[in-house]
Structure 1
Amino acid sequence: MAKLAICLLFLLSFLYMSGKAESATATDPAATNFIKASCQATRYPALCLQCLSSYAGQIQQSNEQLAQVALTVSLARARSAVVFVSNMTQLSGIKPRELQAVKDCINNMGATVDQLSKSIHELGQMSRATGQDFTWHTSNVQTSVSAALTYANTCVDGFTGPTMDGNVKVRIKSRVTDVAEVTSNALALVNRFAARHRASAP
């Protein structure tokens, strides 16, 4: 009975918080407009807006929060991609060359996850730093996100060639390309945050 009460309390709390988030998004067009304008600085603005608009209540009009959420979304998608690609090793009839490419991709996407995790930690340090320390942490974030992009692109490159024209290639390439595009957008928003932070510094 006690466990049931706790579960119900948790569910009600979740629904309440979800409702607050939706309300904040719905009643704050300024935040949505801020995200839309910021996304114009990215390579894939439509994808950027699609990924981040639901977090308007959290982002408000903060360049720092925008960069933080963008990296967090990238990390979540990269982790999901690792699971997705790992499941591909269980496909019946997969060719040896494809299987090796899948295994290499799992390693590369695991490295993408690691680099994005580092970038989120560094962004937290970056937001509290000033002067040369800010520049140093900014460089660390940029390096980590760029490395994450490289690993994702290396995964896709592993499926090039005439023997890689099957369903495995198509499905993995679609999933990993999505991660790369979202991560590219996140890097642009990190750069935007850094530029505006420097401009507003005394």
Structure 2
Amino acid sequence: MARTSLIFLLLSLLYIACQARSPTAASSPASNFIKASCSATQYPALCVQSLAAYAPSIQQSPRQLAQTALSVSLDRAKSTQAFVSKMKSFTGLKKREYDAIKDCIEEMTESVDRLSKSVKELKNMGQAKGQDLLWHVRNVETWVSAALTDENTCVDGFAGRSMDGKVKDSIRARVINVAQVTSIALSLVNQFASKQ
């Protein structure tokens, strides 16, 4: 009995020691930078959750943080676009649901296109400074704002009680998540721009 307790105690201590050394348990400067930057967004918890895994590549770079946030938003938009496209082929859709899905696919396609342009623009601006840098950043801000509008327009297409049901709930949940992540990306791009 005493031997079992001793083994259990040693294993517990070993586990605690490993947890203390793990990068997720430790509060690194990069993690603190992400948390501080995310605190100024509309969805701070989602921001940290979405970006924490990228802390090693973000470090404490506002530009890399904005770039990563845009990439995360683009990935989610692409995934949601594919999901909504699959919903179009469901049998038993009401005409209004089908039309809303069709419109949503168009909006999500526009959103993906604009977020793709934003990712490329920020990545390819190189060492631009001054007015050149601001021109690139303004392009990104314009496209991300438009992508956010596209996402919100998709959600608006499912308004009204006649649209209530699983189709509406599943699409709205995904698109709202994309819109929140896009809002985070826009906020972080604005933060990056304000530091230039």
- Structure 1 length normalisation: TM-score? 0.83
Cα deviations by residue, 1:139-179 (Å, 9 ceiling, x for unpaired): 10000000100100010011112311111111100000000
Shift of 1:128: 2.1
The CA distance in 1 between the partners of 2:50 and 2:79, in whole Å, is 15
Q: Provide structure 1 residue ranges, at least 5 long, that are not aligned to the other structure.
A: 1-22
- Structure 2 length normalisation: TM-score? 0.85
Shift of 1:26: 6.5
Letter in 1 for 2:166: N
User: Larger deviation: 43-52 or 155-164?
Assistant: 155-164
Letter in 1 for 2:139: N
Q: Provide structure 2 residue ranges, at least 5 long, that are not aligned to the other structure.
A: 1-21
The answer (yes or no) to whether the contact 1:28–1:57 under 8 Å persists in 2 is: no
Shift of 1:28: 6.7
Bigger Rg, which one: 2
Tell me which residue corresponds to 1:174: 173
The CA distance in 1 between the partners of 2:129 and 2:56, in whole Å, is 27
Tell me which residue corresponds to 1:119: 118
Shift of 1:124: 2.1
The answer to whether the aligner puts 1:67 opposite 2:66 as a matched pair is yes
The CA distance in 2 between the partners of 1:162 and 1:47, in whole Å, is 29
Does the residue aligned with 1:115 lie in a helix, a strand or coil?
helix
The CA distance in 1 between the partners of 2:61 and 2:27, in whole Å, is 13
Cα deviations by residue, 1:107-159 (Å, 9 ceiling, x for unpaired): 10000000000111111244521111111111100000001001000100111
Shift of 1:91: 1.8
The alignment of Structure 1 onto Structure 2 pairs a total of residues equal to 175
RMSD: 1.5
Shift of 1:24: 6.5
